[in-house]
Structure formats: C-alpha cells, structure tokens
Structure 1
Amino acid sequence: MASIARSSLLRQVAAVKPNPQQTLITNAARTTAFHTTSRRCLLPPLPQHVQGTVNDAAPVPEPSPSHGSYHWTFDRLVAGSLIPLTVAPFAAGSLNPTLDAILCATILIHSHTGFQNVIIDYLPQKRTPRARKFFMWGLNAATAVVGLALYEFETTDVGITETIKRIWAA
C-alpha cells in the first residue's frame, strides 16, 4: 500500500518543475508543518547580574559531607550491595527474614537517594525553591509510606523473597 502511494507522489513531484525560489518557500512550508508547538522556556532564566566586581574571588561553598564525593560513594555502595542481597536468598536456598528486611531497607534507601538526585539535578534551588521544597517533602512522604508498606508486608505476609520465589515458580 505504501509503495503504491509513494510512486504516485514521486510521479507528481517529477512532473512539476518549480523555480528555485518557489522550492525554497515550499520546503519551508513543509518544514513548518511538522513543527506544531512553539518554543517556550519552561523555567525562568537565571539572574543575569554579577555579584561583586570583576576582581573578586569566586564564592566557594562551605564543605559538606552529605554532598559531592561522599554522597556519590554512598550511592555506589548501596547500588553495589543490592546485587549480592538480591541473589543471596535464592542462591543459599534459605529465606531469612533478617536478610529480607535488609534487602527491603536497601531498596528503599536506593530508591530514595535516586529520586533525591533527580530532584536536585532538575529543580535548582535558585530557580524553583518552592517546587523543590514541595517535591522533597513529597519524596520524604512517599518514602515513609513505602517503608511502612514494606514493613507491613514483611511482618504480616510472606515477604519479598518468598513472593518473588512464588511468582517465579508460577
């Protein structure tokens, strides 16, 4: 079907020989037909002023152990520890509730820090202080609710690893 339509369109294009100026206008009209949305800035631009003078030193932020390399190292350690914690209950053949609780806590911490990094990266404090605060509080609330749900699932039901084992065998 597509080849039939394509050949007829090619014949129509080959039959008409417009001048170069008309071709430029036609191509521009074809291009703009595909651009259906206007270009809009989603975030307001940052302030465009210099604080201090040209000869002043750049401000250095106060060092904080919760930012930078310590934060990145902690994220990598948590992510790396998920591999053996996920495989260990199935490889050993024993379903230990303590190991299951550690796995749930590690997954919860990994998810929280991952979403926190997304909020920090995409909602800068300078541009959107209210939205960033709102999303941080939302993340903390969601983490607390999921933590409570995982605790209830671990204590009153079969647990994560047993559930995965049952789903895998089904």
Structure 2
Amino acid sequence: MASLMRQSCLSALRTPLATRNVAGISQVVAFHASTRKLILPPEPQTIQGTMNDPAPIPTPHPSHGSYHWTFERLVCVGLIPLTVAPFAAGTLNPVMDAVLCSLLVLHSHVGFQASIIDYFPTRRVPKTASFMNWLLRGFTLTTAVGLYEFETNDVGVTEAIKRIWKA
C-alpha cells in the first residue's frame, strides 16, 4: 500500500527532472546541478605558478582586517546606549538624535557593504560589484539626507518613535 501511494504521489510530479529508479518508480531529483541555472559565471580554470610556490600574501592595509572589525564593533556598541537613552531618560536632545541617525546610517552602510562583498565578489563579477557599491553609496547618501531633513524640519526620530508607540 505504501509503495503504491508513493508511486502515485511521485507520478504526479513528473517533470523534466524526474527519473525512474530500479523498481520503475518515478523519482524527482532534489538538487539538480545544471549549467542552465548558474547564478555566477564559473571561475577561471587556470593555475598561477607551481604547486611548490607559496600562497601570495596580500599587502596589509589599515582599513581592512582588525581595524575594520574594531570599527564595526564600536559602531554596534555605540548604538545600544543611543537607542535606549532617549526613551529611558525622556529627554529630546537634537545632538543625540543626530548622532543616533549618523550611527544608524553608518551601521546600515557597513552591513550592506559586507553583503555586497560576500555575494558579488569583485574577481567573479567586477561590473556587478561596482554597480552594487555605487548603488549602495547612492542609497546611503539619500538616507542620510532624508534623516537630516527629518531631524531639522520635523519632530526627529526619537520623538516620531515615541508618538508612534503611544498612538
């Protein structure tokens, strides 16, 4: 009974990916590796040097590595008191709002930049990576200008959140 049920359920899924096993029951391939569905182009199939050559060491740069990681962590940790303080203390300080908005924009930019670096590597898709980085810069600038306008010409971020919370 179970094999008949399995056979009838799987026969309903007959797709180009379906195959038959030894017993003649149709099965669907779960993970199909096809060149038609490549998201990124294949990497170049060349080897630089010989197998006895050491791996090249990149030149150190102060904005990468531990400095970059430390900067990201300082921005993240700085957001915690700036997010809690306006609501706990009950003060509306425009300087605190400006610093909060600046760190939020910076934190978002760094996070999206890390995603672009991970998902669009420059060595594989250089034009797409460049386009995505410029798109990120444009959105970051637009967000920063929008928050500046909201802070100077309207009630500000913390007051807006308070009003929404009490509504």
Specify the TM-score bucket, using the shorter chain as the normaliser: 0.7 to 0.9
Task: Give the whole-Å Cα distance in 1 for the aligned partners of 2:162 and 2:83.
Answer: 12
Q: Indicate which of 108, 133, 136 corresponds to 1:136.
A: 133
Task: Give the whole-Å Cα distance in 1 for the aligned partners of 2:21 and 2:107.
Answer: 59
Partner residue, 2:55: 58
Partner residue, 1:73: 70
Partner residue, 1:101: 98
Please identify which structure carries the higher helix content. Answer: 1
Partner residue, 2:152: 155
**Residue segments in structure 1 that go unaligned for 5+ positions in a row:** 1-8, 14-20
**1:83 is the counterpart of 2:113:** no
Q: Which amino acid aligns with 1:86?
A: T
CA RMSD of aligned residues (A): 2.4
Per-residue deviation, 1:74? 1.1
Per-residue deviation, 1:117? 0.3
Task: Give the whole-Å Cα distance in 2 for the aligned partners of 1:164 and 1:73.
Answer: 30
Percentage identity across paired residues of the two chains:
53
Task: Give the whole-Å Cα distance in 2 for the aligned partners of 1:115 and 1:100.
Answer: 22
Task: Give the whole-Å Cα distance in 2 for the aligned partners of 1:25 and 1:93.
Answer: 72
Q: TM-score, normalised by structure 2?
A: 0.82
Task: Give the whole-Å Cα distance in 1 for the aligned partners of 2:62 and 2:146.
Answer: 31
Per-residue deviation, 1:31? 2.5
Structure of greater Rg: 1
Q: TM-score, normalised by structure 1?
A: 0.80
| Higher RCO (C-alpha 8 Å, min separation 6) | 1
Partner residue, 1:24: 23
